[in-house]
Structure 1
Amino acid sequence: SLGWEGSDSQWRHYRRAYGLLAAFATPLVLSVHSVVSWDFAMALVPGWHSTLFAPFFVDGAIFSGFAMVLILVLPMRHFFDLRAYVTDRHLDMMAKLILVTGLVLTYFYACELFTSWYSGEHIEKASLFWRLTSTYWWALFTMYFCNCVSPLILFWKKARTSPVILYVVSILVLIGMWFERFNIIVPSLGHDFYPYTWGIYVPTVTDSTIIIGSFAWFFLLFLGFIKVMPSLSVVEVKETLPPPMKEAAHGGHH
């Protein structure tokens, strides 16, 4: 379409444009998550005023992003029989990325705890102690378990190519990342500098239905998309074919 003949020059220009767009997209992703994190870091709220937030958010986005990809890809791989295209090598590489970003995230969690304790700021120490021991302690330790402990099984090579283990770990990672956002927002705003503003957040029915509805809306759109559109990029699949098959697919054009 639009004059595409599959010639060598067109493939060469396509790959060059693909690389340039990828090069532009990478700093865009970094800048978007950094700016969002600075919105938090510039606020004078206990637990937010930290220079770690920019790399913390970027790493968390990569970490949860790959987990979300696995949650979507693994059922498609199973039900659509895409094992020839989504191979064990792909699963292994994605699992390694989840493991590495999970270890980096664990390091940021440790830095966050250490700086809050070592800073000498009484409010930061009080906020940290309240997070660890008070109302929302369970949310904090759920986050630590899901984001720091559960990915450690991916050190085991068989786990990195096991769809069941990868699926369970990916679900735990997304649960942990949801609780990370919860721990950033709720305890910090519920226990800030002014005692007369302290409070306990209890989700309402409206809050719960909004969350459930957002998940339902996403999966509805996703399932509708893979129903009417190719679930794999046809161009990228053709790039993996040997040259004679690629030429045959385009009628022998060079």
Structure 2
Amino acid sequence: MSKTYEYVPEPALVKGNHDFSSINSLITDINLRPTPKGWYIAFGLSNLLLFVLLGSIAYLIWEGTGIWGLNQPVGWGWAIINFVWWVGIGHAGTLISAILFLFRQDWRTAINRFAEAMTIFAVMCAGIFPAIHVGRIWVIYWVFPIPNSMVMWPNFNSPLLWDVFAVSTYFTVSLLFWYVGLVPDFATLRDRIKSKVGKMVYGVAALGWRGSNRHWWNYEKAYMILAGLATPLVLSVHTIVSFDFAVSIIPGWHTTIFPPYFVAGAVFSGFAMVLTLMIICRKIYGLEDIMTVDHIEKMNLIILVTGSMVGFAYLMEFFIAWYSQVEYEKAIFIIRATGPYAWAYWIMISCNVISPQFFWSKKLRRNVTFTFIISIVVNIGMWFERFVITVTSLSTDYLPSSWGYFSPTIWDVLTYVGTFGLFFTFFLLFLRFMPMVAVAEIKGAMPQADPHNYDPETGDYSPQEIEIPEPNKESV
């Protein structure tokens, strides 16, 4: 005796009538076809911004950090704000790739590749600011733990030094994780490209990949190990970045809520940036069948959850300040909401707390245009969050006679805007010469890759019913 149960398939990860060959063509033809004119225009604009960054840094080295809007008591300005913002942007790529991979979430396959690329380029932008904000950049080697003529050693008790180790480790593991995932796809490009130079370059990058059973076994083992290494880094990097603030005794910073609060905010802003880039790329390159509305909805749900966590953290900051009965802590949060920087505080609240709540609506979660707007709004709000945390606490510290208003200069703005040139220069090169979607992983998540779901006679990949025998009562 057996019962027949209706089989309800999950939403297809790839829309349309695609097979392995059409997936190969859809993704790799982007890299193999002639470069479109629009790419050259975008690349030229990003290069222009990159030269703005290089010029700003050169002038900074020539003149010193006095060209920035730093004053007393605001000794930290846009440099630390932009550093924390860019590190946060770089969080979503590793989370999508590593944590969702370990949890066997196949929907990540459509977005993980360029999310990983975004991570690498965002960390590169972030790394610029700690280097240039020291002032005398020509003696930057003093911060490294190597013998030098001044007999100076870094202070290993400082969280600023912990940043160096955390961010550099995160960058290295993310870069390896990204490259290992690219190896099978480099081999696909090597086999499809016509030019001899292209075959040689992609052949070297593919490390002799032939798709043998042993190659796949080594690949999956290495990918699993790197995913395991990257997962704790997702949590540790922004936790250590938060220690730059939390271990101090500045009002508004000295609190234990900062580590989880910063991690949630980093995932929040990182997913928003992935959505911004994803929606543009899927439209320009015609990848709607792979980067589907279902993917956008899932990412919007994560933005809703992490945005609610950030909003809860904002409320808890006020509660902790009140519960601690420390006058300085209570005063700083009142000043944030009502003082000279209240405009920045309420922009932060509007963008980070209110805007994600629209995603409670399924219709809005699946609206691509609305999602694109909210993703930009979220990243604006997260930049203002870092501005509010840094500037308000420093400008109104313990001694009212030393309070001062921080105003950025044109060089603060140009340096920040220039980092977008660095980011998009590398990102556009990635889109042009590397597959933006993981070809091998997309094919592995399709029903054709599962022999148990395939009927060679009908070509059907979705069985409609499953017979499950009832247990033998006597044996029970």
The reply on whether 1:154 has 2:359 as its aligned counterpart is yes
Cα shift readout 1:47-105 (whole Å, capped 9, x = no counterpart): 00000000011111111110010011100001101011111111111111111111111
Alpha-carbon shift at residue 31 of structure 1 (Å):
1.1
> Is the deviation greater in 173-182 or in 227-236?
227-236
Which residue does the alignment assign to 1:173? 378
Structure 2 matches for 1:37-186, cutoff 5 A?
Answer: 37-186=242-391
Query: What is the CA–CA distance in structure 1 between the aligned matches of 2:438 and 2:430, rounded to whole Å?
Result: 13
Number of aligned residues? 245
Contact 2:443 2:449 in 1 (8 A): no
Which residue does the alignment assign to 1:243? 449
Cα shift readout 1:113-142 (whole Å, capped 9, x = no counterpart): 111122211111111111111110011111
The DSSP-based 3-state class of the residue aligned with 1:60 is helix
> Is the deviation greater in 188-197 or in 167-176?
188-197
Query: What is the CA–CA distance in structure 2 between the aligned matches of 1:136 and 1:244, rounded to whole Å?
Result: 57
Query: What is the CA–CA distance in structure 2 between the aligned matches of 1:21 and 1:244, rounded to whole Å?
Result: 25
Alpha-carbon shift at residue 208 of structure 1 (Å):
1.3
Distance 1:2 1:215, change over 3 A: closer
The structure with the largest alpha-carbon Rg is: 2
Query: What is the CA–CA distance in structure 1 between the aligned matches of 2:347 and 2:425, rounded to whole Å?
Result: 28
Contact 2:265 2:306 in 1 (8 A): yes
Alpha-carbon shift at residue 15 of structure 1 (Å):
2.9
Which residue does the alignment assign to 1:6? 211
Cα shift readout 1:149-208 (whole Å, capped 9, x = no counterpart): 000111111211211111111111101100000011101000011223210011111111
Give 5+ residue unaligned stretches, structure 2.
1-205, 452-476
User: By percentage of residues, which structure has more helix?
Assistant: 1
> Which letter does structure 2 place at the counterpart of 1:199?
G
Contact 2:251 2:332 in 1 (8 A): yes
Return the structure number with greater relative CO, CA threshold 8 A, min gap 6: 2
> Which letter does structure 1 place at the counterpart of 2:371?
L
Q: TM-score, normalised by structure 2?
A: 0.50
Query: What is the CA–CA distance in structure 2 between the aligned matches of 1:162 and 1:114, rounded to whole Å?
Result: 36
> Which letter does structure 1 place at the counterpart of 2:399?
Y
Alpha-carbon shift at residue 13 of structure 1 (Å):
4.1
Which residue does the alignment assign to 2:415? 210
Distance 1:155 1:12, change over 3 A: farther
